[in-house]
Amino acid sequence: MPRGPRHHLKRVDAPSKWMLDKLGGTFAPRPTEGSHGLRESIPLLLILREKLNYALNATEVTKILMANFVEVDAKVRTNPKYPAGFQDVITIPKTGESYRVLFDIKGRFQLHKVNEKEAQYKLCKVVQKYTGRNNTPFLRTHDNRVIRYPDPAAKIDDTIKVNLRTGKMSTIVRFKEGNLCMITGGRNTGRIGVIESREPHPGSYEIVHVRDTAGNDFTTRRENIFVIGHEKTAMISLPAMNGVRMTTLEDRKRKLKNLKRQKRGH
């Protein structure tokens, strides 16, 4: 076995949420170490080439990034393999477009277009609180953002609203029953619903019961919950379907209906 960190990623081993075809080559771009993990992020190269169709190949992506045309969380990024993850805001000032990285109802990465006002902030989940040198309190979020002297009211698993320009936190959303949440891991990734109850299991995983707007109940682990709003009001704009997963038959009927509309339009 080779020694040291790996710098390559086979295409067949890439996360399925990237939606890469098997015959597109042997390798896939491996995200560099950054604010998100390898399998919880998607490199900028795939976002510009596969999602937004701003480039045909990696060379064109590199030229776009080196011209300082792309910002991630209000900071210019020039690395094609920079990892963009959940809730990151990708802004292209040249075109005036902004996108928030979310999950669709099937757990795949989705770029949701947002307006200029919403692109100024993001939601971050609190994953750690600790005290540093000279008794300085710190708070770490899901994107490895560290905030000094945070609001003492913020607890682990709560969600905070962070201004991307100043880096300061403002609103705190509690992790509690009755609040709106999005699932960020497991088989229910991408689904949105209201937290109904919590089922603690000492020594094992805590299970959370969630109900979506269609009245469907499902469960997931506590670490997969990302609170996105007070009660039933979301703090961010949501993509189509509002996180409601459809059955196979319902999805087929929806697609056939869309095809009929397209034919009528032609």
**CA nearest neighbour of 242 among 89, 57, 112:** 112
- Separation CA 160–CA 179 (nearest Å): 14
- Separation CA 198–CA 208 (nearest Å): 5
pLDDT in tens, 156-195: 999 999 999 999 999 999 999 999 999 999 999 999 999 9
Half-sphere exposure for 68 (CA within 13 Å, toward CB):
3
Token couple for 188:
């229910």
Stated pTM of the model: 0.91
- Separation CA 250–CA 215 (nearest Å): 15
Residuewise pLDDT in 10s, the chain (266 residues): 678 888 899 999 999 999 999 888 899 999 998 899 999 999 999 999 999 999 999 999 999 999 999 999 999 999 999 999 999 999 999 999 999 999 999 999 999 999 999 999 999 999 999 999 999 999 999 999 999 999 999 999 999 999 999 999 999 999 999 999 999 999 999 999 999 999 999 999 999 999 999 999 999 999 999 999 998 899 999 988 888 998 889 989 999 999 998 888 76
- Separation CA 158–CA 66 (nearest Å): 37
